[in-house]
């Protein structure tokens, strides 16, 4: 472990604080049951990426494609991720049985996999007339025809093994027949149980709101939600039928490789998928507000799926792209929360999502969180990061002033000044132990520096990330939708 501390899942923050929130209610128990990752006590030194430079630049320039570090290809079990000589790669993520699903799919129901924790019993009995009335109200909310006899069992198949347990129910694998003929025949069914003091109106609003949001999302990097139905014809519990992801979540993968983080090529591939998924959500008028490895599910072949929209904020996708999008409330998990969410009464949730994606990338590359919380008075690591940014800005200002004074007359002189400034930043940052991006290639370093800008107005947007030269060169093993295809997905 060296100088690294432990990083672990963190308690989501509710908003407003005095009100109960389903994520917050189970967060403490959940964090106790999940294995810890690391928290950085000293900035890492990463040596698996080449072309290591500081993110300082006074001009825009084209940079050569960063070569993907190649790993030896062998039949050894450790070759879970293989990079081939042509730069392509494959993921071979182990499919999980029910026992591992319990910890990896906690985000679907805020699971409590510890056997020592007792789950609340649900003993409410209702007669047929009451059940019919509830179903009528749910169908009215969803604006769909009444389906008296339709339930999970009759439409989607038999519930089999439990793959997770939570305060509000369980998650089961469902497939038609005795055995699934293919992975496409498998589904994850999440129960929505009422809290003890929850009114029926609030319960129906909660489950229909999340379903209405999720069921309209169709993208390769977003978990598909297919249906919302009663568990059976005699049970007062409604269930959400979703896509089944057999590779666990990104948290588990990072934890398994937390000593050094994921290979740069694999982290970059996942990062590209995540950003395309987030770009799609924002284009649909949805900000996630709780992006973290636990909410990023995986298939066995390395497809990332964004899940858990319990904290999502919806906004109007206006023709005027310059119109501000504002949200309120503190949501998410501490290490991934953008600094403005702690300090500002309103904020742009899209910029907050971008920040969270940057922290996820740091976790993938280092196996650790760069800080516990993005507040300089509460976290020394974050305070050191702000010192690093101040150092970078000082060198940038110095270079700009020299250019303004005419000290850099030729293109060669300007390039030499940039290199000198970068070297100065690297030297002073290393001496003070400030550079959390040390060891990253220039392209990755530059874009993460812009993503983790504490000023949300200056933070790079999702669209600019997609247009970034380095980002475009990332080798992604999964097909990325073109703009035309994404438009067709949105229209569909």
| Domain range summary for the chain, segments of one domain joined by + | 100-109+126-243, 248-370+436-491
Q: Which among 355, 359, 362, 358 is positioned nearest to 340, based on CA atoms?
A: 355
Burial classification of residue 176, based on how many CB atoms lie within 10 Å of its CB (0-12 exposed, 13-18 middle, 19 or more buried): middle
Q: Name the pLDDT band for 180 (thresholds 50, 70, 90).
A: low
Beta strands across the sheet bearing 158-166: 158-166, 169-175, 186-192, 238-243, 225-230
Q: What is the pLDDT of residue 455?
A: 96
More confident residue, 143 or 436: 436
Q: What is the pLDDT of residue 413?
A: 64
Of the listed ranges 193-197, 394-398, 412-416, 481-485, the least confidently predicted one is: 481-485
Is pLDDT at 145 greater than 50 in this prediction? yes
Each residue of 188-215: pLDDT tens digit? 888 887 777 878 788 888 888 888 888 8
- Asked if 228 and 138 touch (Cβ cutoff 8 Å), the reply is yes
- With vertex at residue 270, the alpha carbon angle to CA 425 and CA 67, rounded to the nearest 5 degrees, is 55
**DSSP letters of 446-470?**
HHHHHHT-S-TTTSPPHHHHHT-HH
* Average confidence (pLDDT) over 144-169: 68
Each residue of 215-244: pLDDT tens digit? 899 999 999 999 888 877 777 778 888 898
- 190 in a known ligand binding site: yes
Superfamily of domain 248-370+436-491: Transferase(Phosphotransferase) domain 1 (1.10.510.10)
Q: Which among 336, 354, 208, 202 is positioned nearest to 274, based on CA atoms?
A: 354
More confident residue, 335 or 151: 335
Q: Across all residues in the chain, what is the average pLDDT? A: 73
Q: Which among 11, 49, 55 is positioned nearest to 30, based on CA atoms?
A: 11
435 in catalytic set:
no
What CATH code is assigned to 100-109+126-243? Answer: 3.30.200.20
Greatest extent of the chain over all pairs of C-alpha atoms, in Å: 85
111 strand-pairing partners: 166
**What separation in angstroms does the CA of 406 have from each of 6, 284, 403, 412, 418?**
50, 48, 5, 13, 15
Burial classification of residue 97, based on how many CB atoms lie within 10 Å of its CB (0-12 exposed, 13-18 middle, 19 or more buried): exposed
**What separation in angstroms does the CA of 247 have from each of 90, 102, 303, 368?**
14, 12, 9, 21
Is pLDDT at 35 greater than 80 in this prediction? no
**DSSP letters of 337-383?**
S-HHHHH-SSB-HHHHHHHHHHHHHHHHHHSEES-S-S-TTT-HHHH
More confident residue, 45 or 226: 226
What does the chain come to in residues? Answer: 492
Each residue of 413-467: pLDDT tens digit? 666 666 665 665 566 556 566 677 888 888 999 999 999 999 999 999 999 999 9
Q: Which among 286, 278, 270, 304 is positioned nearest to 209, based on CA atoms?
A: 286
* Average confidence (pLDDT) over 99-106: 40
Q: Which among 272, 214, 269 is positioned nearest to 243, based on CA atoms?
A: 214
Q: Name the pLDDT band for 28 (thresholds 50, 70, 90).
A: very low
Given the residues 25, 201, 249, 290, select the one marked as catalytic.
Answer: 290
**DSSP letters of 233-302?**
TT---EEEEEE--TT-BHHHHHHHTTTT-S-HHHHHHHHHHHHHHHHHHHHTTEE-S--SGGGEEE-TT-
Q: What is the pTM assigned to this prediction?
A: 0.74
Distance CA 110, CA 354 (A): 23
Q: What is the pLDDT of residue 5?
A: 39
């Amino acid at each position: 472990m060296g100088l690294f501390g432990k990083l672990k899942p963190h308690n989501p923050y509710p908003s407003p604080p005095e009100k109960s929130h389903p994520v917050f209610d189970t967060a403490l128990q959940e964090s106790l049951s999940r294995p810890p990752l690391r928290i950085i006590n000293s900035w890492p030194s990463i040596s698996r990426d080449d072309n290591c430079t500081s993110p300082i630049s006074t001009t825009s320039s084209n940079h050569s494609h960063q070569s993907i570090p190649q790993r030896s290809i062998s039949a050894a079990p450790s070759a879970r991720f293989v990079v081939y000589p042509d730069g392509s790669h494959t993921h071979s993520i182990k499919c999980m049985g029910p026992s591992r699903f319990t910890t990896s799919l906690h985000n679907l129901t805020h699971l409590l996999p510890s056997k020592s924790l007792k789950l609340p019993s649900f003993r409410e009995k209702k007669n047929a007339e009451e059940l019919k009335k509830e179903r009528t109200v749910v169908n009215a909310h969803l604006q769909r025809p009444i389906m008296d006899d339709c339930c999970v069992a009759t439409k989607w198949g038999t519930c089999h093994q439990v793959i997770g347990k939570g305060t509000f129910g369980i998650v089961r694998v469902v497939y038609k027949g005795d055995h699934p003929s293919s992975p496409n025949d498998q589904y994850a069914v999440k129960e929505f149980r009422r809290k003890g003091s929850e009114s029926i109106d609030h319960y129906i609003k909660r489950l229909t709101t999340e379903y209405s949001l999720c069921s309209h999302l169709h993208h390769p990097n977003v978990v598909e939600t297919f249906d919302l139905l009663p568990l059976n014809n005699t049970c007062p519990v409604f269930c959400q039928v979703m896509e089944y992801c057999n590779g666990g979540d990104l948290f588990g993968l990072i934890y398994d490789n937390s000593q050094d983080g994921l290979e740069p090529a694999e982290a970059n591939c996942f990062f590209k998928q995540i950003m395309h998924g987030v770009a799609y959500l924002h284009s649909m008028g949805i900000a996630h507000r709780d992006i973290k490895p636990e909410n990023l599910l995986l298939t066995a072949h390395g497809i990332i799926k964004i899940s858990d929209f319990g904290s999502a904020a919806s906004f109007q996708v206006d023709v005027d792209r310059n119109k501000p999008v504002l949200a309120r409330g503190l949501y998410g998990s501490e290490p991934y929360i953008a600094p403005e969410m702690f300090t500002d009464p309103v904020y742009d949730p899209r910029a907050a999502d971008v920040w969270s994606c940057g922290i996820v990338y740091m976790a993938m590359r280092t196996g650790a969180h760069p800080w516990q919380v993005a507040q300089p008075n509460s976290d020394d690591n974050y305070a050191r990061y702000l010192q690093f940014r101040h150092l970078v800005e000082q060198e940038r200002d110095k270079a700009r002033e020299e250019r303004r004074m005419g000290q850099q007359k030729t293109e060669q002189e300007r390039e030499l000044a940039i290199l000198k400034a970068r070297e100065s930043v690297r030297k002073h940052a290393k001496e003070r132990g400030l550079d959390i991006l040390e060891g990253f290639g220039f392209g990755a370093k530059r874009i993460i520096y812009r993503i983790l800008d504490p000023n949300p107005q200056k933070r790079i947007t999702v669209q600019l990330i997609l247009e970034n030269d380095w980002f475009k060169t990332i080798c992604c093993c999964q097909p990325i939708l073109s703009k035309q295809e994404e438009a067709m997905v949105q229209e569909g």
